Amino acid sequence: MKKVFLFLVAISISVASFAQTKWTVDPMHSFVNFSVKHMGISFVDGSFKKFDGAVTAAKADLTDAKISFSVDVNSISTSVEPRDKHLKSDDFFNAEGFPYMTFESTSFKKLKGNNYELSGKLTIRDVTKDVKFSVVYGGTAKDQQGNTKAGFSAQTTINRLDYNIKYDPSGMGVAKDVKIVLNLEFVQAK
């Protein structure tokens, strides 16, 4: 009886594992962008050029999705080299000491239609905070090579001071709130 029970448990685990679908980010069709107000009158936009992410889910509506994402801080680009160098310094990201920002999901809730709420833990520098992203699921399609792809747009706003980014704490020159927008395409594993 014990062997039968263990066999059934092993089959259940195998079936559950088999049913999981893994998706990996397609960096050629994805973007990680940010925007922050400058001097209260305009905005500085930037992006990160190197990042990686994965989604694992068994349900078609993705409500059981586990999402992980990392961003290489050294890949920051605002199209102004001296500013990019300053952003990599300890005044901002301290890219030498904390080369990656990471995100791990805690839930992915379907709201209405293709709108979701993604909750998780965002780590910047040495601080991890709970964040929520508004997500629009763009759907899936097959590319010319027969790969199945899924598209998402996600955005949130964080207070940079919460993550020990203390340069200009008054927010007069560089605002405290930073808008993050991710346009991501994922490829389904074969």
Residues 126-152: what's their mean pLDDT?
A: 95
Higher-confidence residue: 60 or 188?
188
SS3 82: helix
Note the CATH number of domain 21-188: 2.40.128.110
Nearest to 180 by CA among 98, 103, 110, 105: 103
According to DSSP, the residues that pair with 130 across neighbouring strands are 121
pLDDT of res. 124 = 98
pLDDT of res. 11 = 38
Residue labelled with tokens 């909750």: 119
- Per-residue pLDDT tens digits for 11-62: 344 334 346 899 999 999 999 999 999 999 999 999 999 999 999 999 888 8
Nearest to 51 by CA among 110, 101, 16, 117: 101
Mean residue pLDDT across the chain: 90
**Diameter of the chain measured on Cα atoms:** 73
Q: Where in the chain are the domains? A: 21-188
- Per-residue pLDDT tens digits for 80-107: 999 999 999 999 999 999 999 999 999 9
Residues 131-154: what's their mean pLDDT?
A: 95
Please list the helix, strand and coil fractions of the chain in percent, rounded to the nearest 5, in that order: 20, 55, 25
pLDDT of res. 15 = 37
Lowest mean pLDDT among 57-61, 70-74, 174-178: 57-61
Q: Is the pLDDT of residue 140 over 80?
A: yes
HSE at residue 33, side-chain half, CA atoms within 13 A, is 14
Report residue 6's pLDDT band, with 50, 70 and 90 as the boundaries: very low
Q: Is the pLDDT of residue 10 over 60?
A: no
Residue labelled with tokens 């009886």: 1
